[in-house]
Amino acid sequence: MDYQKIIDTIHEDLRYHDVFGEVASYIPELAKVDPKKFGMHLYKGVNENYSFGDSTEKFSIQSISKVFTLSIAMKLLGEDLWERVDVEPSGDPFNSLTQLEYESGVPRNPFINSGALVIADILVSNLKDPKKELLEFVRKISGDNAIDYDYKVAESEKSTGYRNYALVNYMKALGNIKNDVEPIVDFYFHQCSLAMSCEELAKAFMLFANNGKILGTGEKILSPTKIKRINALMQTCGFYDEAGEFSFEVGLPGKSGVGGGIVAIHPEQYSVAVWSPILNKKGNSELGMAALEKLTTMTGLSIF
Ligand code: GLU
């Protein structure tokens, strides 16, 4: 398979494509990003890397970070984790408050904001320095010690993060939050501000394509059962209330973020990250989704 040729064709087909959505602006710092940015990186092996465009430029990974924090929480709590957060698609927007009311403060899944905030609460309870340990985890799995938070983005989100404060307060009232609100949202805003390129994300997500083994040393840091569960959650809940559409079009487990990034994996084959900041109405990168649809159609390979 000539992956570079396929990747180049995707670039050519989509670079001048009309996109009608908008860059996320509810986090002021994200509104400053150049909407024309477009990059993709596919990691298949040490000497099999394929990319185009702005694939080495760092962007705000936002909700993609929820896969990293879920992985750490699963290592810490094992199956007990599922008493605090469910594993069903929400069918509601990622920042919705309504479901929580009739489901007694237990979020539908770890990838909507309420679920990620419960995970943040768990990490605040169990780790001495959660921000430092998350960074160490991400640096380790991607083999890149330069990865860091974008403190301006974290500060910017904090200044407008009323809904996330509301979600934590509400779940605290319903008994599903153990710590004070402030350390939880502080950790959450920082995890969302992680700045990574498509290349770095593709490398980090090889953990999930490689059955729990990290690149380089091959050290196994997640069991096959945990990998199965994380990949299943990406498949069913990774794209807000558009998870069905992503599955239908692309047919791979993945996760998106409002920074315009999407990562997807083909188990035992490759990991691929794409970035284009213009979002569709559901909050997913418009060109990113189109690029991944072309990838699985042109290669003729998906998990289905
Ligand atoms: N930091 C964003 C928020 O909480 C993350 C949203 C996303 O990427 O889904 O609203």
Give per-residue pLDDT as tens, 160-193: 999 999 999 999 999 999 999 999 999 999 999 9
Res. 152: pLDDT tops 90: yes
Instruction: Compute, in angstroms, the gap from residue 54 CA to the centroid of ligand 1.
Output: 22
Give 277's contacts (C-beta < 8 A, 6+ positions apart): 23, 24, 30, 33, 34, 35, 37, 59, 259, 260, 285
User: What is the structure's pLDDT at 268?
Assistant: 95
User: What is the structure's pLDDT at 226?
Assistant: 97
Which residues does residue 53 pair with via DSSP β-bridges, in sequence order? 39
Structure tokens that stand for 256 in this block: 């998106």
Instruction: Compute, in angstroms, the gap from residue 192 CA to the centroid of ligand 1.
Output: 7
Res. 95: pLDDT tops 80: no
Give the residue-averaged pLDDT of 105-128. 97
The count of other CB atoms within 10 Å of the CB of residue 144 is 16
- Residue that wins the pLDDT comparison between 53 and 102: 53
Whether ligand 1 lies within 6 angstroms of the CB of 113 is answered as yes
Band the pLDDT of 93: cuts 50, 70, 90: confident
Instruction: Compute, in angstroms, the gap from residue 63 CA to the centroid of ligand 1.
Output: 5
Question: How much of the chain exceeds pLDDT 90, in percent?
Answer: 89
Task: Share the mean pLDDT of the chain.
Answer: 95
Whether ligand 1 lies within 6 angstroms of the CB of 90 is answered as no
Instruction: Compute, in angstroms, the gap from residue 188 CA to the centroid of ligand 1.
Output: 9
- Residue that wins the pLDDT comparison between 22 and 60: 60
**Fold assignment, 3-299:** Beta-lactamase (3.40.710)
200 CA to centre of own chain = 13
Give the residue-averaged pLDDT of 12-18. 89
Report the C-alpha gap between 258 and 120 in whole angstroms: 19
Res. 92: pLDDT tops 80: no
User: What is the structure's pLDDT at 176?
Assistant: 97
Domain positions in the chain are 3-299
Whether ligand 1 lies within 6 angstroms of the CB of 63 is answered as yes
Q: What is the pTM of this model?
A: 0.97
User: What is the structure's pLDDT at 101?
Assistant: 87
Band the pLDDT of 107: cuts 50, 70, 90: very high
Give per-residue pLDDT as tens, 241-284: 899 999 999 999 999 999 999 999 999 999 999 999 999 999 99
283 CA closest ligand 1 atom index:
9
